[in-house]
Structures are given as C-alpha cells and as structure tokens.
A = this chain, B = another copy of it.
Amino acid sequence: MLAAAGPVFARRGFDRATVREICGLAGVNVAAVAYYFGDKLGLYREVFRQIRQRCQNDVLDTSVIAGDPRLALYLQVRHLLSRVLARDDSGWESQLMMREMNQPTAVFDEMVQESIRPQFERLIETLSLLSPPATPLPVLERLVLSLVGQCLYYRIGAGVVKRLIPADRMASDFDIDSLSKHITAVTLAAAENGLVLEHHASLGRLADALTQAHSSDLKP
C-alpha cells in the first residue's frame, strides 16, 4: 500500500492525490488509510519515513576514495545526478522531494536535517580540498549550492529542457554520464581557479565595470 502511495503522491502532489486512487491501485478499501495511518497526512508521513530509511542505506562511502578529492567530487555529483534523473521505479522519490521543496510541510524539516545537510557538508569538505587554501566559507557554500542547483535543474526544469533540446541530442549529449562529467568539470574549473572576482585574472576590469552598470543599464 505504501508502494502504491509513493508514486501517486509524487505524480499528483499531496492535495491532488486522492485516497481513492491510492487504495484502488493497492487493491484495498478506502477505509484502510484511516485504520492503519489515522488519516491521509499520516500515510504521507509514513511514505517519507520510508524514503528517509532507504536514503540512509544509500549514502556514498567516500572514505575509500579520500585520497583523490577530484574523483570524490565526481562520484558525489554522479550519485546525486543519478538519483535525480532516475527513470525507473525509484524515480518518484526525487520527484516527491522536489514537491516538498517549494511547498514545505512539516515533513520537510526532518528531511533537511537528516538527509540533505549531511550531503551538503560532505560536499563542502570535498570542495575545500580542491579550492585554494584559506578560501572563505561563504565561497564554498555558494559553490556547493551552484553544484546542487545544476544537478536538480534537470529534474525541476525537465519540461523546459525537453522543449529546448531536440530529442536526439537529448539522449546522446544529456545523459547521466555526459552531465555528471560536465558538472564536475564546471565545478572544478571554478573551484581550482578561485572564485573571488578580484582574484580572477580575466575579471579585473569587470569588477570595476559592473558597479557603474547597475544604475545606467538596469533601469533604462
């Protein structure tokens, strides 16, 4: 029954998903949700509790590759991306996560603290090894958020991407392999060169030009 509820919640969202559809798919009576989970929200919370348990068994073991931070970064990107772009039976999990993101319920706080924050701090650690010494923490944080944003956009903006990129090139140039290599390369290029504008050689004049650009060009 939980197996039937997950995909429906992911596809329809909490409100649009009806207990009748879930129970019809599971082959049980509609009263079962009240009998076993109290109400619809209880079923929803139970689905998330199950997801969280499954995520804890799915953590990437980065200790064995601690020697090469670049490889560690690549594997973390690929791990995140392959879960985001999963097309098989586990694809509804990430979709359900996305729904919680821009419509946070009470379930969301536990999700962030137990699953997202550890992954976030592990990425901070990896990138601190790849950045110049004494890189400020905000720079590393922004870099991690850039990385996560790039990965998640292929789920959130899937509708946009599908309409912008032809289907044939979609399969060849935007598969998990190409994308994880691309995002790793972008992040590496940014981290290893240092991101503070003033430190970036080719951006010296830009830092000066942008200050006067705000007032003149933004409000014509």
* A interface residue numbers (CB < 8 A to B): 13, 15-16, 61, 64-65, 68, 70-71, 74-75, 78-79, 82, 95, 98-99, 101-104, 108-109, 112-113, 116-117, 120, 138-139, 141-143, 145-146, 148-161, 163-165, 169, 173-174, 178-179, 181-190, 192-193, 195-197, 200, 202-203, 206, 209-210, 213, 217-218, 220
Task: Count copies of this chain in the complex.
Answer: 2
Q: Is the CB of B188 within 8 A of A71?
A: no
What are the residues of chain B within 8 A of A101 when measuring CB–CB? 156-157, 159-160
Main SS at interface, chain A: helix
A-B contact pairs, 26 of them (CB 8 A): A13-B103, A15-B15, A68-B209, A74-B206, A74-B210, A75-B218, A82-B218, A95-B102, A98-B156, A101-B160, A112-B160, A116-B160, A138-B169, A143-B186, A145-B154, A146-B153, A149-B154, A152-B153, A152-B157, A185-B197, A186-B186, A186-B195, A188-B200, A188-B203, A190-B190, A192-B202
